[in-house]
Amino acid sequence: MKAFVPTFIALTLLALAGCQPAQPTEIPPTDTPDTPAPITETPTVAAPLRASEREEMVMRQITGRDVSDPETLKAMRAVPRHAFVPESLQDQAYADHPLPIGYGQTISQPYIVALMTEALDLQPGERVLEIGTGSGYQAAVLAEIVDEVYTIEIVGALAEQAQAVFADLGYDRITVKHADGYFGWEEYAPFDAIIVTAAPDHVPQPLLNQLADGGRLVIPVGPPGGYQSLWLYTRAGDDYQAENLGGVIFVPLTRTVRDE
Ligand code: SAH
Protein backbone atom coordinates (compact mmCIF):
# COMPACT_ATOMS: atom_id res chain seq x y z
CA MET A 1 0.00 0.00 0.00
CA LYS A 2 2.95 2.31 0.66
CA ALA A 3 3.67 2.53 -3.04
CA PHE A 4 0.51 4.40 -3.92
CA VAL A 5 1.00 7.21 -1.45
CA PRO A 6 3.46 9.36 -3.40
CA THR A 7 1.50 9.01 -6.62
CA PHE A 8 -1.71 9.73 -4.82
CA ILE A 9 -0.31 12.88 -3.25
CA ALA A 10 1.26 13.95 -6.51
CA LEU A 11 -1.98 13.47 -8.39
CA THR A 12 -3.86 15.24 -5.65
CA LEU A 13 -1.53 18.22 -5.75
CA LEU A 14 -1.78 18.35 -9.52
CA ALA A 15 -5.53 18.39 -9.30
CA LEU A 16 -5.49 21.02 -6.58
CA ALA A 17 -3.29 23.16 -8.77
CA GLY A 18 -5.90 22.86 -11.48
CA CYS A 19 -3.51 21.15 -13.87
CA GLN A 20 -5.74 18.25 -14.73
CA PRO A 21 -9.31 18.05 -15.83
CA ALA A 22 -9.54 14.59 -14.29
CA GLN A 23 -9.40 15.08 -10.56
CA PRO A 24 -8.05 12.35 -8.35
CA THR A 25 -9.18 14.30 -5.30
CA GLU A 26 -12.52 13.88 -3.65
CA ILE A 27 -15.58 16.07 -3.95
CA PRO A 28 -15.37 19.85 -3.91
CA PRO A 29 -16.38 21.52 -0.65
CA THR A 30 -20.14 22.09 -0.59
CA ASP A 31 -19.85 25.85 -0.20
CA THR A 32 -17.86 26.46 -3.37
CA PRO A 33 -19.67 28.53 -6.01
CA ASP A 34 -19.46 25.73 -8.56
CA THR A 35 -21.32 23.26 -6.35
CA PRO A 36 -24.08 21.83 -8.52
CA ALA A 37 -27.67 22.58 -7.59
CA PRO A 38 -29.33 19.84 -5.55
CA ILE A 39 -30.78 17.05 -7.62
CA THR A 40 -33.94 15.48 -6.37
CA GLU A 41 -34.36 13.06 -9.23
CA THR A 42 -34.31 9.43 -8.15
CA PRO A 43 -31.87 7.09 -9.90
CA THR A 44 -33.53 4.72 -12.31
CA VAL A 45 -32.09 1.28 -11.95
CA ALA A 46 -31.12 -0.05 -15.33
CA ALA A 47 -29.95 -3.54 -16.11
CA PRO A 48 -26.36 -4.02 -14.96
CA LEU A 49 -24.85 -3.40 -18.38
CA ARG A 50 -22.12 -0.97 -19.34
CA ALA A 51 -19.47 -3.57 -18.55
CA SER A 52 -17.05 -2.14 -21.09
CA GLU A 53 -17.29 1.33 -19.55
CA ARG A 54 -16.53 -0.22 -16.17
CA GLU A 55 -13.59 -2.13 -17.58
CA GLU A 56 -12.16 1.05 -19.03
CA MET A 57 -12.73 2.87 -15.74
CA VAL A 58 -10.80 0.16 -13.88
CA MET A 59 -7.94 0.14 -16.37
CA ARG A 60 -7.47 3.87 -16.73
CA GLN A 61 -8.40 5.22 -13.33
CA ILE A 62 -7.68 2.40 -10.92
CA THR A 63 -5.06 -0.12 -12.01
CA GLY A 64 -3.61 2.69 -14.13
CA ARG A 65 -2.89 4.50 -10.87
CA ASP A 66 -1.88 2.31 -7.98
CA VAL A 67 -4.72 0.11 -6.75
CA SER A 68 -3.92 -3.55 -7.28
CA ASP A 69 -5.89 -5.59 -4.71
CA PRO A 70 -7.68 -8.25 -6.84
CA GLU A 71 -10.83 -8.28 -4.69
CA THR A 72 -11.17 -4.51 -4.95
CA LEU A 73 -10.71 -4.59 -8.72
CA LYS A 74 -13.24 -7.40 -9.09
CA ALA A 75 -15.77 -5.44 -7.05
CA MET A 76 -15.19 -2.26 -9.08
CA ARG A 77 -15.80 -4.27 -12.26
CA ALA A 78 -18.96 -5.81 -10.85
CA VAL A 79 -20.99 -2.92 -9.39
CA PRO A 80 -23.14 -1.04 -11.94
CA ARG A 81 -22.14 2.47 -10.82
CA HIS A 82 -24.61 4.08 -13.25
CA ALA A 83 -27.50 2.59 -11.24
CA PHE A 84 -26.46 4.72 -8.25
CA VAL A 85 -26.52 8.13 -9.95
CA PRO A 86 -29.45 10.29 -11.12
CA GLU A 87 -30.65 9.29 -14.58
CA SER A 88 -29.52 12.53 -16.21
CA LEU A 89 -25.93 11.85 -15.07
CA GLN A 90 -25.74 8.15 -15.95
CA ASP A 91 -23.60 8.84 -19.00
CA GLN A 92 -20.97 10.32 -16.68
CA ALA A 93 -21.17 7.52 -14.13
CA TYR A 94 -17.80 6.03 -15.11
CA ALA A 95 -15.93 9.33 -15.49
CA ASP A 96 -12.95 10.20 -13.33
CA HIS A 97 -14.70 12.53 -10.88
CA PRO A 98 -17.39 12.68 -8.20
CA LEU A 99 -21.01 13.43 -9.19
CA PRO A 100 -23.85 15.21 -7.38
CA ILE A 101 -26.56 12.96 -5.93
CA GLY A 102 -28.80 15.67 -4.46
CA TYR A 103 -29.12 17.19 -0.95
CA GLY A 104 -25.70 18.83 -1.40
CA GLN A 105 -24.01 15.40 -1.38
CA THR A 106 -21.91 13.49 -3.90
CA ILE A 107 -21.01 9.99 -5.00
CA SER A 108 -17.24 9.70 -4.63
CA GLN A 109 -14.84 9.50 -7.55
CA PRO A 110 -14.26 5.83 -8.54
CA TYR A 111 -10.54 6.02 -7.70
CA ILE A 112 -11.23 7.20 -4.14
CA VAL A 113 -13.75 4.38 -3.66
CA ALA A 114 -11.15 1.85 -4.84
CA LEU A 115 -8.35 3.39 -2.78
CA MET A 116 -10.38 3.32 0.43
CA THR A 117 -11.68 -0.19 -0.25
CA GLU A 118 -8.16 -1.50 -0.79
CA ALA A 119 -6.94 0.24 2.37
CA LEU A 120 -9.57 -1.65 4.41
CA ASP A 121 -7.80 -4.91 3.52
CA LEU A 122 -11.07 -6.87 3.54
CA GLN A 123 -11.50 -10.63 3.75
CA PRO A 124 -14.57 -12.57 2.65
CA GLY A 125 -16.84 -13.24 5.62
CA GLU A 126 -16.04 -9.98 7.40
CA ARG A 127 -18.49 -7.44 8.81
CA VAL A 128 -18.11 -3.82 7.73
CA LEU A 129 -19.68 -0.54 8.84
CA GLU A 130 -19.92 2.47 6.55
CA ILE A 131 -20.74 5.99 7.74
CA GLY A 132 -22.25 8.09 4.92
CA THR A 133 -24.32 5.83 2.65
CA GLY A 134 -24.96 8.61 0.10
CA SER A 135 -25.84 6.91 -3.19
CA GLY A 136 -25.06 3.45 -1.79
CA TYR A 137 -22.29 2.81 -4.32
CA GLN A 138 -19.44 2.36 -1.84
CA ALA A 139 -21.59 0.01 0.26
CA ALA A 140 -22.31 -2.11 -2.84
CA VAL A 141 -18.57 -2.32 -3.60
CA LEU A 142 -17.96 -3.52 -0.04
CA ALA A 143 -20.80 -6.05 -0.31
CA GLU A 144 -19.11 -7.62 -3.34
CA ILE A 145 -16.20 -8.56 -1.06
CA VAL A 146 -17.56 -9.20 2.45
CA ASP A 147 -20.64 -10.93 3.87
CA GLU A 148 -22.24 -8.17 5.93
CA VAL A 149 -22.35 -4.44 5.33
CA TYR A 150 -24.03 -1.98 7.70
CA THR A 151 -24.34 1.59 6.49
CA ILE A 152 -25.63 4.77 8.15
CA GLU A 153 -26.89 7.89 6.38
CA ILE A 154 -27.94 11.14 8.06
CA VAL A 155 -30.21 12.35 5.18
CA GLY A 156 -33.42 10.32 5.23
CA ALA A 157 -34.20 10.58 1.52
CA LEU A 158 -30.73 9.33 0.57
CA ALA A 159 -31.00 6.41 3.00
CA GLU A 160 -34.36 5.44 1.46
CA GLN A 161 -33.14 5.86 -2.10
CA ALA A 162 -30.04 3.75 -1.51
CA GLN A 163 -32.15 1.05 0.12
CA ALA A 164 -34.38 0.95 -2.99
CA VAL A 165 -31.37 0.56 -5.29
CA PHE A 166 -29.95 -2.25 -3.11
CA ALA A 167 -33.30 -4.06 -3.31
CA ASP A 168 -33.50 -3.62 -7.10
CA LEU A 169 -29.98 -4.92 -7.63
CA GLY A 170 -30.31 -7.76 -5.12
CA TYR A 171 -27.79 -6.49 -2.54
CA ASP A 172 -29.56 -8.20 0.34
CA ARG A 173 -26.60 -8.26 2.73
CA ILE A 174 -26.52 -4.47 3.13
CA THR A 175 -28.45 -3.03 6.09
CA VAL A 176 -29.20 0.71 6.08
CA LYS A 177 -29.97 2.98 9.02
CA HIS A 178 -31.06 6.63 9.00
CA ALA A 179 -29.14 8.23 11.87
CA ASP A 180 -26.06 10.19 12.89
CA GLY A 181 -23.21 7.78 12.18
CA TYR A 182 -20.92 9.51 14.69
CA PHE A 183 -22.05 6.94 17.26
CA GLY A 184 -21.45 3.93 15.01
CA TRP A 185 -23.86 1.00 15.31
CA GLU A 186 -23.41 -0.59 18.71
CA GLU A 187 -25.94 -3.35 18.06
CA TYR A 188 -23.78 -4.97 15.37
CA ALA A 189 -20.32 -4.13 16.78
CA PRO A 190 -17.55 -5.15 16.70
CA PHE A 191 -16.73 -4.51 13.04
CA ASP A 192 -13.75 -5.93 11.16
CA ALA A 193 -13.61 -2.69 9.19
CA ILE A 194 -15.20 0.77 9.34
CA ILE A 195 -15.17 3.28 6.48
CA VAL A 196 -16.23 6.89 6.87
CA THR A 197 -17.08 8.77 3.67
CA ALA A 198 -17.76 12.21 5.15
CA ALA A 199 -15.12 14.17 7.04
CA PRO A 200 -15.24 14.90 10.79
CA ASP A 201 -12.68 17.23 12.39
CA HIS A 202 -11.67 14.47 14.82
CA VAL A 203 -11.96 10.69 14.93
CA PRO A 204 -15.21 9.72 16.68
CA GLN A 205 -14.32 7.65 19.74
CA PRO A 206 -17.35 5.33 19.31
CA LEU A 207 -15.96 4.18 15.95
CA LEU A 208 -12.58 3.30 17.46
CA ASN A 209 -14.39 1.45 20.27
CA GLN A 210 -16.48 -0.54 17.79
CA LEU A 211 -13.48 -1.91 15.86
CA ALA A 212 -12.73 -5.58 16.40
CA ASP A 213 -9.22 -6.57 17.48
CA GLY A 214 -7.22 -6.35 14.24
CA GLY A 215 -9.95 -4.14 12.76
CA ARG A 216 -9.27 -1.29 10.33
CA LEU A 217 -10.83 2.19 10.20
CA VAL A 218 -10.41 4.38 7.10
CA ILE A 219 -11.48 7.97 7.70
CA PRO A 220 -10.83 11.46 6.28
CA VAL A 221 -10.14 13.90 9.12
CA GLY A 222 -9.83 17.65 8.85
CA PRO A 223 -11.61 20.99 9.02
CA PRO A 224 -15.02 21.24 7.33
CA GLY A 225 -14.73 22.84 3.89
CA GLY A 226 -10.95 22.37 3.86
CA TYR A 227 -8.56 19.62 2.93
CA GLN A 228 -8.40 16.51 5.03
CA SER A 229 -5.96 13.69 5.56
CA LEU A 230 -7.13 10.18 4.89
CA TRP A 231 -6.19 8.02 7.88
CA LEU A 232 -5.97 4.27 8.33
CA TYR A 233 -6.31 3.16 11.98
CA THR A 234 -5.53 -0.45 12.84
CA ARG A 235 -6.53 -1.83 16.22
CA ALA A 236 -4.29 -4.23 18.16
CA GLY A 237 -5.88 -4.89 21.54
CA ASP A 238 -6.16 -1.50 23.20
CA ASP A 239 -3.60 0.06 20.87
CA TYR A 240 -4.34 1.86 17.62
CA GLN A 241 -1.78 2.39 14.90
CA ALA A 242 -2.42 5.34 12.57
CA GLU A 243 -1.12 5.77 9.03
CA ASN A 244 -1.68 8.90 6.92
CA LEU A 245 -2.67 7.89 3.38
CA GLY A 246 -2.61 11.38 1.84
CA GLY A 247 -4.67 14.48 1.17
CA VAL A 248 -8.35 14.37 0.17
CA ILE A 249 -11.45 16.56 0.16
CA PHE A 250 -14.75 15.16 1.41
CA VAL A 251 -18.07 16.74 2.36
CA PRO A 252 -18.21 17.38 6.12
CA LEU A 253 -19.60 14.87 8.58
CA THR A 254 -22.68 16.67 9.86
CA ARG A 255 -24.44 16.10 13.16
CA THR A 256 -28.07 17.02 12.40
CA VAL A 257 -30.31 14.18 11.32
CA ARG A 258 -32.34 15.34 8.28
CA ASP A 259 -35.73 13.79 7.61
CA GLU A 260 -36.05 14.99 4.00
N1 SAH B 1 -20.34 6.72 0.28
C2 SAH B 1 -21.19 7.55 -0.56
C3 SAH B 1 -20.72 8.97 -0.72
C4 SAH B 1 -20.83 9.71 0.50
S5 SAH B 1 -21.06 11.45 0.44
C6 SAH B 1 -21.40 6.94 -1.92
O7 SAH B 1 -20.80 5.89 -2.24
O8 SAH B 1 -22.20 7.50 -2.68
C9 SAH B 1 -21.13 11.59 2.22
C10 SAH B 1 -22.44 11.15 2.81
O11 SAH B 1 -22.30 11.20 4.22
C12 SAH B 1 -23.61 12.08 2.47
O13 SAH B 1 -24.66 11.35 1.93
C14 SAH B 1 -23.97 12.69 3.81
O15 SAH B 1 -25.35 12.97 3.94
C16 SAH B 1 -23.52 11.62 4.77
N17 SAH B 1 -23.27 12.06 6.15
C18 SAH B 1 -22.74 13.24 6.58
N19 SAH B 1 -22.65 13.25 7.93
C20 SAH B 1 -23.13 12.05 8.36
C21 SAH B 1 -23.31 11.46 9.65
N22 SAH B 1 -23.00 12.11 10.79
N23 SAH B 1 -23.82 10.21 9.72
C24 SAH B 1 -24.16 9.53 8.59
N25 SAH B 1 -24.04 10.05 7.35
C26 SAH B 1 -23.52 11.29 7.23
Residues having CB within 6 Å of any atom of ligand 1: 105-108, 131-132, 134-135, 137-138, 152-155, 158, 180-182, 197-198, 251, 253-255
Task: Say what the pLDDT of residue 28 is.
Answer: 37
**Contacts for 215-221: CB closer than 8 Å, 24+ residues apart:** 215/190, 215/191, 216/119, 216/120, 216/121, 216/192, 217/193, 218/116, 218/119, 218/120, 218/193, 218/194, 218/245, 219/194, 219/195, 220/26, 220/196, 220/248, 220/250
Active-site residue, selected from the candidate residues 52, 68, 88, 108 = 108
Task: Say what the pLDDT of residue 259 is.
Answer: 87
Active site residue 88: no
What is the rounded CA–CA span in Å between residue 35 and residue 210?
Answer: 34
**Considering the domain 51-248, what is its CATH architecture?**
3-Layer(aba) Sandwich (3.40)
Mean pLDDT of 162-185: 98
Q: 132 alpha carbon to ligand 1 midpoint, in Å?
A: 3
pLDDT at position 35 over 80: no
pLDDT at position 3 over 60: no
How buried is residue 51: exposed, middle or buried, by Cβ count under 10 Å (0-12/13-18/19+)? Answer: exposed
| Strand intervals (E) in the chain | 99-102, 105-107, 127-131, 148-153, 174-178, 191-196, 211-221, 228-236, 239-248
What is the rounded CA–CA span in Å between residue 211 and residue 241?
Answer: 13
In this predicted model, what pLDDT tens digit does every residue of 228-239 receive, in sequence order?
999 999 999 999
Q: What ligand 1 atom has the least distance to the C-alpha of 152?
A: 24
How buried is residue 47: exposed, middle or buried, by Cβ count under 10 Å (0-12/13-18/19+)? Answer: exposed
pLDDT at position 204 over 50: yes
Mean pLDDT of 162-191: 98
What is the rounded CA–CA span in Å between residue 85 and residue 82?
Answer: 6
Q: 157 alpha carbon to ligand 1 midpoint, in Å?
A: 12
Q: What ligand 1 atom has the least distance to the C-alpha of 155?
A: 15
In this predicted model, what pLDDT tens digit does every residue of 110-153 receive, in sequence order?
999 999 999 999 999 999 999 999 999 999 999 999 999 999 99
Task: Say what the pLDDT of residue 43 is.
Answer: 60
Q: 198 alpha carbon to ligand 1 midpoint, in Å?
A: 5
Domain ranges of the chain: 51-248
Q: What ligand 1 atom has the least distance to the C-alpha of 103?
A: 15
pLDDT at position 158 over 80: yes
- 105-107/99-102 β-pairing: antiparallel
Task: Say what the pLDDT of residue 225 is.
Answer: 83
- pTM for the structure as a whole: 0.86
